[in-house]
Amino acid sequence: MRPVTFRVEATDGEARAGIAETARGTYETPCFMPVGTRGAVRYLSADDYARLGARIVLGNTYHLMLRPGAETIAHLGGLGAFTGWDGLTLTDSGGFQVFSLEPDVDDDGVTFRSTYDGSTHRFTPETAVRTQELIGADIQMVLDVCPPLPSPPDAIRSAVERTHAWAVRARAAHRRDDQSLFGIVQGGIDEHLRVESATRTVDLDFDGYGIGGLSVGEELHEMLPALDATTRHLPTDRPRYLMGVGDPVSLVEAVALGVDQFDCVMQTRLGRHGTALTSEGKIHLKSAIHALDDRPVDPACGCEVCRRHSRGFLRHLVRAGEPSAARLLSVHNVAWTIDLMARMRAAIRAGTFAGFRRDLLSVWGAGG
């Protein structure tokens, strides 16, 4: 039996509302997955995740394999039990982090140093699979090659070739029948390479498909044609996951092209710098204009932060350097983004997604 099954319940244009079923539970799409890099979403607890509406939380394989170690996590029951989270989990392969460190790469794998103690480590497609099987997330990603953009054409071509070769090996190495394995499409912003990579990856018959190598330096107008070329060649009965994307414009534009799930650290990164995501665009709470403002961060938001606290109070916390400011704004930003995805699902089901997208872009299209 396939570890993940996916059913499209409604469409509006290319946008899809669906349900994915894993061995341990289901999640609705489109969905946003908060990132718990080292086993926890920054400033949030496992109790927060469910209360804010999250269904899947990510773990970062690179960081978790170094500290506390995959074997330790396995001994303590796997990623969910280890972190106290009884929802679903997904681990990336660690490839994005590894390749950001300028490692030594060859056809067999990649050698890199730990950011913690400088020790040397080796990853191959097979060890990436085994490490993630030990960590025990519900969904794991294959090891891929993720070049920054812009990169020379030969670097993009090499990434496509190695990613495919490594995907073949990862598919053969995967053993856990209660854990899904997603392939990853590369190709930069070259539409022809995107089509080629998508077609070759689909031929390997993965449980779902990650779309990697985007939102790594290119402009949105460059990303969207490459994304469109990719999704058109992915099967309709598998989840489509745009990796590392979480700003509202990219989310709604990607959903319009048929993407189902997303992750990003932006929500908590903005929170710790005093910035909130709202129906009015970004609000920078350090600004003096909020000093006497008794309104919630977003009057249209029903999250616990907006129900209780004013902009004036939150500005005070930000200006005073109170750690609670980062927590409260991160809670709001994650809750707001999860609710945004829920509103997209509702619009798709109602056949009003085009109007929803137009309204969001009228606020956020010029940068929020």
Task: Tell me if residue 12 is catalytic.
Answer: no
* pLDDT one-digit tens code per residue, 331-341: 999 999 999 99
Of 12, 207, 260, 263, the active-site residue reads 263
Q: How far apart are the first and last CA of the chain?
A: 45
- Cα 270 to Cα 25: distance, rounded to the nearest angstrom: 30
pLDDT the model gives residue 86: 96
- Cα 304 to Cα 298: distance, rounded to the nearest angstrom: 11
pLDDT the model gives residue 368: 52
Question: Band of the pLDDT at 205, cuts 50, 70, 90?
Answer: very high
Of 12, 92, 144, 247, the active-site residue reads 92
- The rounded percent of the chain whose pLDDT value lies above 70 is 99
Q: Are 129 and 140 in contact (CB under 8 A)?
A: yes
pLDDT the model gives residue 98: 82
Task: Tell me if residue 92 is catalytic.
Answer: yes
Whether the predicted pLDDT of 366 surpasses 90: no
Q: Which element (helix H / strand E) includes 235?
A: none
- Contacts for 273 with CB less than 8 Å, ≥ 6 apart: none
The pTM of the whole model exceeds 0.85: yes
CATH code, 8-264:
3.20.20.105
Sequence ranges of the domains in the chain: 8-264, 274-351
Written as six digits, the tokens of 48 are 């927060």
- Contacts for 195 with CB less than 8 Å, ≥ 6 apart: 187, 229, 230, 232, 233
Average the pLDDT over 135-143 and give the result: 97
* pLDDT one-digit tens code per residue, 246-276: 999 999 999 999 999 999 999 999 999 999 9
Helix H segments across the chain? 46-52, 61-66, 70-75, 79-83, 95-99, 125-135, 153-173, 191-202, 220-231, 248-256, 266-272, 304-308, 311-320, 323-350, 353-364
Whether the predicted pLDDT of 309 surpasses 70: yes
Cα dist from 255 to 46, 183, 245, whole Å: 27, 19, 11
- Cα 201 to Cα 209: distance, rounded to the nearest angstrom: 8
Q: Which element (helix H / strand E) includes 275?
A: strand 275-278
Average the pLDDT over 337-347 and give the result: 98
Q: Are 314 and 283 in contact (CB under 8 A)?
A: no
| Beta pairing class for 120-123 and 281-284 | unpaired
* pLDDT one-digit tens code per residue, 77-122: 999 999 999 999 999 987 778 877 889 999 999 999 999 999 999 9
- Contacts for 264 with CB less than 8 Å, ≥ 6 apart: 32, 35, 244, 245, 246, 247
Residues making up the chain, counted from first to last = 368
Least trusted range by pLDDT, from 2-11, 196-205, 259-268: 2-11
